Amino acid sequence: MGKKSLWIGILLVLFVAVPCFNGASAGVPGVTDTEVVIGWSTPLSGPAALWGVTALGGKAYADYINSQGGVNGRKIKVLLKDDGYNPTRALSNLQEMRGKVFAVTGLLGTAVVHTCRDFFSENKIPLITAYANTRMWVNYPKDKLRYIFIAYPDYEDEAHFLTSYAIKELGTKKIAPFYQNDDYGKMGVAGIEKAVKESGGKAKIVARVPYEVTERALGTHALKLKESGADTVLLYTTMTHGALILKEMGKIGFRPKALATFTLGDPIMYKIAGEVWEGVYPAGAGNSGIPGADPAADRLADILKKYNPKIAGKEYLGVFGAVSMIYTVEALKRAGRNLSVEGMIKAMESIKNYKPEGVGAPATFGPNRRHGVNASRVLHAEGGKHIPKTEFKIFKPRF
C-alpha cells in the first residue's frame, strides 16, 4: 500500500499543479501594443473607505485620457483593488499585480506604504505618488528610493507654517493643539512646538489635548481646551473628530480661532461640521487644489464627474487622487512609445515646475529629488467655501 499510495499522491499533485503553471511572458510587464496597466490598491472598504475616492478620481482621469485616444497609442487600464487600509492585504494586492502592471500609483496610509515600500525596488516597479507620512523616505537607501516619486506635504512642516501664520497674522498668543494620539497627530504637535519656540515668547502652548481614534464622546476634551484659556486651537484630527470637537466646543460657548491640517481642507467639512466650520483656517495641501476656489481644480473636477458621477459631492478627494494619475500620464507621455521602467523613471525625473492640470504648487523631480512637492497654504472657511488666504509656501524637499 505504501508505494502505491505514494504514486497516487504524486499523480494527484501533478493533476492539480500543472494547470497553475503560467509561462513567463516576454516584454515589459503591464505593457502591450494597445494598453498600459497601472495598479492602484486603496481602501475602498473599512475605516478609511472615504479616502478611496482618491482612486475613483484617478480612474476617472484615466478614462478621460482614454476617451482622447490614450497615451502614445495606448489606453490606460487601471487595475483597482481594495485593501481595506490593511497592510497585509495591500502587499498581497501588489504581489498579485506583479507582472501585470507597469507602475503603481496612489497607495494610501502610512502603515500600508511603509509595509509595501520595499516591494517597488525589489520588483522594479515605479511607485508614482503615495499618500502617507513622508518621513519614512528620509533615510531610505538611495538605490531603493529610485523607484519612488512622492508629491505630498510633510506634516511637521505644515504645522510649523500654520502656527507661524496664526502667530503673525491672527495675533495668536495661547495655542492648544487637539490631536490624534498617533504618529500623525504627534508630528503636528512637533511642528507647532517648533514654531512656538521660534516666535521668541510671542506665543505659548497652554494645553496639549490628545484623543484616541476610537473615541466619539469629546465633551471632556472640549472642556479641557476651554479651561486652558487658549485663544487658538490647532486641529490634527480626522474629519469626523475635527467636526465633533468644534461642535462640542460650540455647545459650551467656546469659540476660539481654529486652524486645521490639510486633511480637513475638504469643503465637505461644512456638511460634516455644519455652521461651526465657518471661520476655521484649514491648510491646503500643495499637491492638490480646492474645488470651489481654484478655477483649475473646478475644471478638473468637472472632467472627473463626467467620467464618474459618483465623485459629485466629493470633488476635493477626487481631484486629490486624480493628481496621481496626471503625474503618471505625464510621465507616460514623456517616456514615449517605447515604454520601459528605466524610461519611465527618466521621464518622472524630467518633470520640472509642473502643475498637474494647473492644480496645486509646482512639482519638480530629479535624479536626486524624489519629494516633488512639499508645500502648503492657508485657507479660510467662508460661506460654504474654502478661500485661499496665502500663496503656496514651498518647503524644502525632504528627500
Partner 1 sequence: MDLIESYKEELKLIRKPWTRVWVGAFVLLLILLPWFGPEHFTYTATVIFIYTVGVLGQNLLIGYTGQISFGQAGFLAIGAFTFGHLSRFGVPWPLALLGAGILAGLFGILVGFPSLRLKGPYLAIATLGFGIAVYQVFVNSELLSGGRMGLSIQKIEPVFGLSRITFNYYFNFLIALFFTLATYNIISSYMGRAFIAVRDNDIAAEVIGVNLARYKLLSFAISSFYTGVQGGLYGLFMGYLEPNMFTFMESITLFVAVIIGGLASVEGSIMGAAFVILVPQVFSEYREMVPVVYGVTILIVLIFEPLGLYGRWFKMRLYFRNWPFR
Q: Which residues bind partner 1 (CB under 8 A)?
A: 1, 5-6, 8-10, 12-13, 16-18, 20-22, 44-46, 49, 52, 80-84, 87-89, 91-93, 95-96, 98-99, 110-111, 114-115, 118, 122, 133, 135-136, 181-183, 186-187, 212
The distance of closest approach from Cβ of residue 138 to partner 1 in the complex, given in angstroms and rounded to an integer, is 9
The distance of closest approach from Cβ of residue 353 to partner 1 in the complex, given in angstroms and rounded to an integer, is 30
Residue closer to partner 1 by CB (options 28, 213) is 213
Residue closer to partner 1 by CB (options 42, 328) is 42
Residue closer to partner 1 by CB (options 122, 342) is 122
Residue closer to partner 1 by CB (options 209, 381) is 209
The distance of closest approach from Cβ of residue 49 to partner 1 in the complex, given in angstroms and rounded to an integer, is 6
The distance of closest approach from Cβ of residue 114 to partner 1 in the complex, given in angstroms and rounded to an integer, is 5
One-letter-per-residue 3-state SS of the chain: CHHHHHHHHHHHHHHHHHHHCCCCCCCCCCECCCEEEEEEEECCCCCCHHHHHHHHHHHHHHHHHHHCCCECCEEEEEEEEECCCCHHHHHHHHHHHCCCCCEEEEEECHHHHHHHHHHHHHHCCCEEEEECCHHHHCCCCHHHHCCEEEECCCHHHHHHHHHHHHHHHCCCCEEEEEEECCHHHHHHHHHHHHHHHHCCCCCEECCCEEECCCCCCCHHHHHHHHHCCCCEEEEECCHHHHHHHHHHHHHCCCCCEEEECHHHCCCCHHHHHHHHHCCCEEEEECCCCCCCCCHHHHHHHHHHHHHCHHHCCCHHHHHHHHHHHHHHHHHHHHHCCCCCHHHHHHHHHCCCCECHHHCCCCECCECCECEEECEEEEEEEECCEEEECCCCEECCCCC
The distance of closest approach from Cβ of residue 16 to partner 1 in the complex, given in angstroms and rounded to an integer, is 6
Residue closer to partner 1 by CB (options 114, 389) is 114
Residue closer to partner 1 by CB (options 1, 337) is 1
The distance of closest approach from Cβ of residue 264 to partner 1 in the complex, given in angstroms and rounded to an integer, is 20
